Amino acid sequence: MKTLIASTKSSLPLLKSFEFHLREVGVETKIVDIQKYFSLYDFKILKAIPLPRAAKIVKSFDPDIIFTDEPIFTSSFKQVLKRPLILWLKGDPWQEMEWKWKRYTVKHNPWNRFKWEFYVKRYFFGLGKADMIFAVSDWLQRKVKQRTRNIETKTFRYIGDLRDWIEERYSPLQTSMQVLSVFPFEIIPKICGWVKFLKVAKNMKDVTFHVAGGGPYLNWVKSKSPNNVNYLGHVSRETVKKFLLEAMVFVYPSGLDMHPRALVEALVMSRPSVVSNVCGIPEMVENRKSGFVCALDDKDCWEEKVRILLTDENLRKRFGYEGRKRMLSMFEPHKVVKQFVSEIEKSLI
């Protein structure tokens, strides 16, 4: 099976890892930075007229299937090649597209607003052109199935190689953070969960909460936060590892997420976690086995579970062990990629 992977610059590191694992299981693969050949706001391209150079490269490889995580390009590829096209959805576009740019980039510029709304229409048009859609969680897979009834949908939990996120044990001398979160302040529905969690932090004045992560809404969230919440801003992945090593408890009170990488990394480093019960997050944390799952509006649950973990070292170790084991099983790249290839061969080849 020959697979062409087409994506944009921001996703290439993850998809290059995917390309590597596909080759390991015998799939001939070529990866293309599609942004070199297509412009997101080029109206001719958005009408599914491919650039000749892109068409030439695609045809020269002659793939059996085309794999992309950019719905905006699906109709273009269908125009170039009569090949099965697979779309990978890593988030919920029906909620995220409304907020991701509109609220803080497009709002004050009519021309940008027009381009963004045009892009959104083409995005959802592209969803309907896929032959098969893979979603990153069972929750999202079910939603995609409801919204695109004529397209076969599957779950595809690929997050790359986790070997560099090795298990780390902390000691009382290493521990300098009571509670840590790594949170992106970019999309309003996600941030709504964090804003609700601030009420919990306000009631726990004796506990310090550290938060790594940036985004256009960071200053707005800071203005609503009590003094015991320490915002660390955007940091490197190596710094995140250091913070995870130092933290006793990890919290992730998101209002919208499929399989947040920050939570995967915390769990794979054996950090006991308290998380929200939304979207795909409960699929990652088994309540009372590898962590605690709380409703966003249940302030008492959040406070109780965080305090339990801060005071019970044996429970922290048990949850950490179970969380790491679950992540390594759920996201084991060879197993995930083999299942992906099997689904493709069974359905499309």
Secondary structure of 168-192 in HEC code, one letter for each residue: CCCCCCCCCEEEEEECCCCCHHHHH
Higher pLDDT among residues 295 and 54, named by residue: 295
- 102 and 231 assigned to the same domain: no
291 has which bridge partners?
273, 287
Q: Give the pLDDT of residue 11.
A: 84
Please state, rounded to an integer, the average pLDDT across all residues of the chain. 85
Say if residue 41's pLDDT is above 60: no
169 lies in some domain: no
297 confidence band (pLDDT: 50, 70, 90): very high
- 310 and 339 assigned to the same domain: no
Q: Give the pLDDT of residue 227.
A: 96
Higher pLDDT among residues 176 and 276, named by residue: 276
- 319 and 342 assigned to the same domain: no
Domain count, the chain: 2
Q: Give the pLDDT of residue 252.
A: 98
Poorest-pLDDT segment among 90-94, 140-144, 162-166: 162-166
168 lies in some domain: no
Q: Give the pLDDT of residue 48.
A: 43
170 lies in some domain: no
Closest Cα partner for 68 from 24, 131, 115?
A: 131
- 135 and 197 assigned to the same domain: no
Residue 79 lies in domain: 2-160+332-347
- 57 and 130 assigned to the same domain: yes
168 confidence band (pLDDT: 50, 70, 90): low
Higher pLDDT among residues 97 and 283, named by residue: 283
130 lies in some domain: yes
Q: What's the rounded Cα separation, in Å, for the pair 77 and 85?
A: 8
pTM of this prediction?
0.88
Q: Give the pLDDT of residue 40.
A: 45
- Say if CB 218 and CB 185 are below 8 A apart: yes
Q: Give the pLDDT of residue 45.
A: 45
Say if residue 233's pLDDT is above 90: yes
| Residue 261 CB partners (closer than 8 Å, separation 6+) | 159
Output the domain CATH number for residue 217. Answer: 3.40.50.2000
231 lies in some domain: yes
Q: What strand order describes the sheet that includes 177-182?
A: 229-233, 209-212, 177-182, 247-252, 273-276, 291-294
